[in-house]
Chain A
Amino acid sequence: MISEDELLAIYHETVHPLYRYVSRRTGGRRELAEDIVQESYIRAWDHWHRRPAEQPMAWLTTVARNLLASHFRRLQPDSLEQMAFDPAAETPDLDAPAVVDWVQWGLARLRKGQARILERFYFDELPVREIAREWRLTERAVEGRLRRARQALRRQLERARRARGGH
């Protein structure tokens, strides 16, 4: 059984990186980031009482990622701001919260693998070499996957833009 001190030590060790992870993916929106972080810990607390807390940071980021995906999956394109960027651009400007919303909205509608690779590339700013090492692929294969994922994201965003009546 995990002790209170162990749980609090995990909390102190993980809360800052987890918040940064979530905040980057919410475009720095505090309320949303705080809700997601809080919900992740509530679920983690419950889980760690039943099973040992192995790789707590990995567990927390997986929960947070799923919560983010389900939040953005629920959003309707009409509730987002005007899409003021080019979906065909190589790398979107992720310092702008409105751009982050659109990218996340699109990622939440892609296949898991495509969303994961773009997320590592865009939000964690991992270079192709690093992703290749992590995923045990050649750099060329990663580049191919990134290209296809970007195309899929662009299709999603353009479809949403058309639905909003944009050009």
Chain B
Amino acid sequence: MTHVHEPDPTFLEKLEWQLKAEERRRRRFRPPEPSSTQWRNIKMIGIVFCSILTGMMASSTVAHFQEISQRQLLLARQETQIRLVESRLELMREHQAELARKIEAGLMPVVEQESLAGQIARLEIERHRRQLDYEEILLSSRAPRDDLAAPRVDERDFVTERLALEMQSLDRVEAQVQAEEAYLRQRVDLGLIHPQELAPYELQLERLAGARVELQRKLELRNRYLGGELSAEQVELQEMLTAAERRLATARSVAAHLRQTLSELEKVHRLGLVDKAQLRQARLQLQDAEAEEWLAQLEIQSLHQNLPQ
């Protein structure tokens, strides 16, 4: 029998296999390693000589091979990422089955299962997103482009597809936070916990609402750009403005939350229950949030000056 703090041999075998497989994939797509200085010099002379001889034709051939090698590297990187996400998903599903058994036996609370289901759903969305990136590289031979002014690739609008996925992920996270908040609210109503425990959840929901507005705005801008209503420059400025507005809203809600926390801490400090260091830390956090708010405001002003009237 394995000692409690010793690893299980099956686990070690599986982990070693996983690491070896990862290593093989990495090496298969790695660019060739530089050889010794002497050989490198000889090769360099050869390359220079050939380049002079073949002139423009040679340079175009090199560019072509570079493009192929770049494409292979990008694809290999995406493949590795997809496999990593898949192996994490596989482990989480195994864990989910085990958890279900424990919940059935009454050893774990049901809320654990909801949280794990949320994590699995988010990983599935991540896998989908990696797959989209892979497909874009296949079609374009270039790194995927996320900016709103990116062109369609082979009639496909990868930017909108990715934004739609982000929206799905956001929905999932929001549902999970709402469920956790509702559960805590019941406990607050029953007087089991302090209402202050709800504050981080409320703050997170506010942030998620801000992220939703930003995503909707991005989708709208993308449509207007593809419809020829906005130029690439206008879209870029509008995108920056949307991001700055979101940062401002987040900084405002964080600052409001910190002000409330600080006022609670000051009360407790007067009773001698909190030391000065904690109080100072809360003040510094508030100053940070206020500085962030001020910077976002400045950025918005500056962007408005550059936007066409």
Contact = CB atoms under 8 A, between A and B. Distances in A.
Contact of A23 (B4, B20, B33): B4
Interface of A: 1, 4, 7-8, 11, 15-16, 19-20, 23-24, 28, 30-31, 33-35, 37-38, 41-42, 45, 49, 76, 78-79, 163-165
Interface string B184-208: 0001000011100100000000000
Given A8-B20, A15-B7, A1 B33 contact: yes
B182 to A, nearest CB: 14
A34 B91 CA distance: 10
B197 A16 contact: no
Interface centre among A7, A33, A34 (most CB of B within 10 A): A34
By DSSP majority rule, is chain B's interface helix, strand, loop, or mixed? Answer: helix
Nearest to B111: A79
Interface stretch (B22-30, B148-156, B231-239): B22-30
A7 B21 CA distance: 13
Q: How large is the interface on B (under 10, 10 to 19, 20 to 34, 35 or more residues)?
A: 20 to 34
B39 interface: no
Given A41-B15, A163-B197, A16 B23 contact: no
Nearest to B26: A49
B109 A78 contact: yes
A163 B196 CA distance: 11
B91 A19 contact: no
A163 B84 contact: no
A45 B23 CA distance: 8
B5 A79 contact: no
Interface string B99-116: 000000000010110000
A105 to B, nearest CB: 15
Contacts of B180: 76
A11 B6 contact: no
